[in-house]
Amino acid sequence: MLNILIISDETAVRSNFSKVLKPRGFNVAEAGSGQEGIRLVEKQEFDLVFVSSRLHDVDGIRILDLVNKKKRDLPVVLCCGLDELSIAIQAVKSGAYDFIEEPFKNSDILRISREILIKSGKSGLNASMDIEESQYVSDVARKKLKYLGIGIAVFLLVLVSVLEINNLYNRKAKNKLSVENSDSVVKIERIERKTEAIKTENSIKPDIAVEKKKEKVVIDLPVISAKEKIYPVSYFHPSGIYRSGEYLWVCDWFSQSIYKHKLDEKLTLLKTFSTGDLHPSGLAIINEYLWVTDSWDRTVTKFRIDNELVLVKTYKVQEQSPSGLMFDGTSIWLCDATSKKISKHWMDNELTMSYSLQSPGESPVTLYWDGTNIISGDRDSGIIYFHKSIYNLLEVEKFQNETLKSKKGKFSGFTSDRDYFWMVFDGIGSIYRLSKDNVKKSR
């Protein structure tokens, strides 16, 4: 099994990681300081390191650099606070395998540990792959598990469970037993197994056949999907979304990619574009060009859309962390969560700032132009602001939906069509479609 090192000066954090990992067969060592962690890395062999971003003696980024110098192939995961996104980005750029945010979820700890387990070649059928926990394994890990035989074992266990359910159902039917509920009737249908090819057309990522297994539960209740619908996607840190005609474009800062979806029933992924070294934080389509912001490099980059993205020009902007952007027909607007401002830029050779206005939200991250008004979204509160004037953005109407308030991920982008809002949340691998009449005014 894996040898995992936990570096944190908080006893409770180390204890929680150990309680999650040890019962699953992982060997866990603990270090109460950065210096102690470095000494253990030098003396012992580890397969994975979890390190707190802030330690009393050495910060997590410094430890990452030291580990990279001493043992370059040792995966390091940075454990960050909720408001340390910039530190997480710096860690990824410095070579971190991944990062997790407080409160640290058991599912994230297990997902990463099992990914490394699969890559290390140390996995076996005794790897504690409980069926109820298998949902935490990443898509990549699932595909690899299939070839190692574990996927087959899990499927057989699921199949046996389904057969037992069917036998139980048949016995009850034979004895003429029934369970009725005045509000709803739940029907369990047999598992469907089908193979679909997910096409991204990215030269680096070949088509992969994904085997899907699902239990279908049909509930005879009023369906809410007409107002709200969730589309699972293969990326987990979407940072912007934009509708252009019959297509939906989404950027992901962590994967450094742009995803082009067709606006059909399945929101089919048509193509994946790499943004190179950029970490896209927002995007907009203007004619045949794709405009992308990067909060960490403080840039706006213009691409021509072809079979791949063709770089046209990169603009250095005044915003401290430019994120959402929009085009109002003549000018580009950017929002800046750090300064809490929204700015108008002329579309000249320098993308010159025309003026900057205070945002009503504490952390504006997304913008949309509905043809008449600016609409902005706030990352932390999930509130959508309809601005009544382009010269005074504090004159607004506020709207919110329960979906926005209840999501654990950070609200990171939205766009719109005639009937729906389309939304994404950083940390959640889904696209949300909300009916406009389901978004209510907020006080």
pLDDT in tens, the chain (443 residues): 789 999 999 888 999 999 999 999 899 999 999 889 998 999 999 999 999 988 888 888 889 988 888 888 899 999 988 777 778 888 888 889 999 988 888 888 999 998 888 888 776 534 444 433 434 344 433 444 443 444 444 444 545 454 555 555 555 444 443 333 433 333 333 334 343 333 333 444 444 344 444 333 332 322 334 568 999 999 988 999 999 999 999 999 888 999 999 999 999 999 999 998 888 999 999 999 999 999 888 999 999 999 899 999 999 999 988 999 999 999 999 999 888 999 999 999 999 999 999 999 988 999 999 888 899 999 888 889 999 998 899 998 988 766 666 666 788 999 988 888 899 998 889 999 988 776 666 66
pTM higher than 0.95, yes or no?
no
The one-letter amino acid code at 140 reads: V
Report how far residue 202's alpha carbon sits from residue 204's, in angstroms, rounded to the nearest whole number: 5
Q: Domains in the chain, please, with CATH?
A: 3-104 (3.40.50.2300), 151-219 (no CATH), 228-442 (2.120.10.30)
Task: Look up tokens 């102690």; give the residue.
Answer: 36
Residues 6+ apart with CB under 8 A from 211: 146, 151, 193, 195
| 150-154 long-range Cβ contacts below 8 angstroms, 24+ apart | 150/123, 150/125, 151/211, 153/125, 154/129
